[in-house]
Structure 1
Amino acid sequence: MRAPDWLTARPIAHRGLHDRARGVVENMPGAVHAAIAGRFGIEVDLQLTSDGEAMVHHDDALGRLTDGSGALATQTAAQLKQVPFKDTPERMMTLGDLCALVDGAVPLLIEVKSHFDGDRKLVARMAQVLANYSGPAAVMSFDPDQVLALREALPQLPRGVTAQRRYDDPYWDHLAPAKRNTMLHLRHGLQTQPHFIAYWVQDLPAPAPWIARNLFGCALLTWTVRTPEQRQHAARYADQMIFEGFRPED
């Protein structure tokens, strides 16, 4: 299956069309509404709760955007829905809340966050929720095991790999070298069989996404586009951009 045309038809708002200075916070209802109003696709992140719910939130712990602290995985969905945010009166959504809010108006691009520990409960919960969602949606992850889980649990949905050329920056220090090695150069592609690649704009062009795009027909998204120079780079090397900090039509 090739990635559908709707995945690359319009720019995709990174964590929704957010502007924290104006009280529109990433991955929150206001950012979703703003993206819908602009007819942009919406990229969001999912984290797992202690009771197996899929929450729309990037960080795996509270504190950067919210009051409080602690890992999301140690709290229930009900508890997380009560957590105050610093710059908005809105509250964290479940994936079900997000689907009800978007209701097919624009495409959803959903990233599965992972601790690279083989736990597939988040994908299982996603499969339950998305089975009842008729709008355009695609799913992706950095973790090859999660992409394989997506292939098995959600074979009908477009799936992708979030990737970059190297994994030697401090963000990846928690992963064993062998794990990072499996992620390099999309080596797992024959097993995970992605329909699209979401590649870091700073690392384009690169051989692996070029091969995936030109030899295997994968759509190529690029993240996160924030500057005019990155926008030009995205237009040259990718099929569509995942953007933040500006409106593409301004």
Structure 2
Amino acid sequence: MPAIEWLTAQPIAHRGYHDQNRTVWENTLSAFTRAVEAGFTIECDLQYAADGVPVVFHDDKLDRLCSIPGDVRAKTSVELGMLSVGGTQDKVPTLSQLLKLVDGRVPLVIELKGRKDDDEGFVASVLEIIEDYKGSIALMSFDHWLLKEAKELGSPRPVGLTAGGIDSETFFVHEEAMHLGLDFISYFYGDLPNPFISKERKAGIPVITWTVRDAQGVEKTRAEADQMTFEGFDPREALIS
């Protein structure tokens, strides 16, 4: 198993340390700079641009973040790099730009946003870009085919399952994914505690939660997981329920 102790060492800023898209928008270099300055681990999302370049962007569509219609995967990384995020000076960054900015100063937890039967080359491209990066990185996804490929390609970085749910059928699917030899789990805090997570934690699998926005989420994480992915507050300050 790749070294992963760093994953739970400090709170993880969801899509960077943004201010809920008021002035500092999610998944932008400004949000990542702010996270570095605060010393938080960064969580972010990757999409696969039309030219085969991984870009940092959450949604499939461009309208919410860039105020134009269209599919993020229909544009090249160069085209996306010219689009304003939230009307700010920030543009859609590439994975390479993110790595250059962070430069190992804080860890990165990167979620791959897949599309079934349309992800050829995605994982391989990500692994190639991060191959020589000196900082701590973990990869994760809801999409089991991406996790399977990352393991088959011999990812030297930790690979984790992003998930949620509370019913037995869902747990069965999650357990199938864990049989790939995954290294950690990112789970929706509102679905804790549950037998699946309790079993995996007992087996030594680290569990982080998503996405904590209030004191209830903080307390649930402390009781049932090992670290939180947060947004909308400063976890260094006390929250009142």
TM beyond 0.5:
yes
Match of 1:116 in 2: 116
Residue equivalent to 2:173: 184
> What TM-score do the two structures reach when normalised by structure 1?
0.89
> For 2:194, which of 206, 217, 222 is the aligned residue?
206
How much identity, in percent, do the aligned residues show?
Answer: 39
Please show how residues 1-250 of structure 1 align to structure 2 within 5 Å. Answer: 1=1, 4-20=4-20, 22-117=22-117, 119-165=119-165, 184-190=173-179, 192-215=180-203, 217-250=204-237
CA offsets per residue over residues 191-247 of structure 1, 9 Å max, x none?
Answer: x211100000000111111111112x1100010000101110011100000001001
Partner Cα distance (1:117, 1:3) in 2: 31
Quick one: structure 1 residues 22 and 181, their matched pair in 2 at CA, closer, same or farther if it must change by over 3 Å? Answer: closer
TM-score normalized with structure 2 length:
0.92
- Residue type at the aligned position of 2:70: G
Alpha-carbon distance between aligned partners in 1 of 2:13 and 2:170, rounded to the nearest angstrom:
30
Counterparts of 1:149 and 1:80 in 2: how far apart (Å)? 26
CA distance in 2, matches of 1:233, 1:181: 21
Asked if the contact 2:2–2:156 (Cα under 8 Å) also holds between the matched residues in 1, the reply is: no
Residue type at the aligned position of 1:210: S
**1:224 alignment partner, SS class:** strand
Segment of structure 1 superposing worse, 118-127 or 130-139: 118-127
1:150-190 alpha-carbon deviations (Å, 9 max, x no partner): 112242101100011259xxxxxxxxxxxx96973432211
The 1:70–1:183 alpha-carbon spacing in structure 2 relative to 1, beyond 3 Å, is farther
Give me the whole-angstrom Cα distance separating, in 1, the residues matched to 2:219 and 2:140. Answer: 24
Matched-pair contact (CA < 8 Å) for 1:20–1:87: no
Query: How many residues were matched structurally?
Result: 236
Q: Matches of 1:118 and 1:208 in 2, distance apart?
A: 30
Contact 1:195 1:218 in 2 (8 A): yes
1:211 to 1:66, Cα distance in 2 relative to 1, 3 A: same
Query: CA separation in 2, counterparts of 1:9 and 1:188?
Result: 25
| Structure 1 portions without partners, runs of 5+ | 168-179
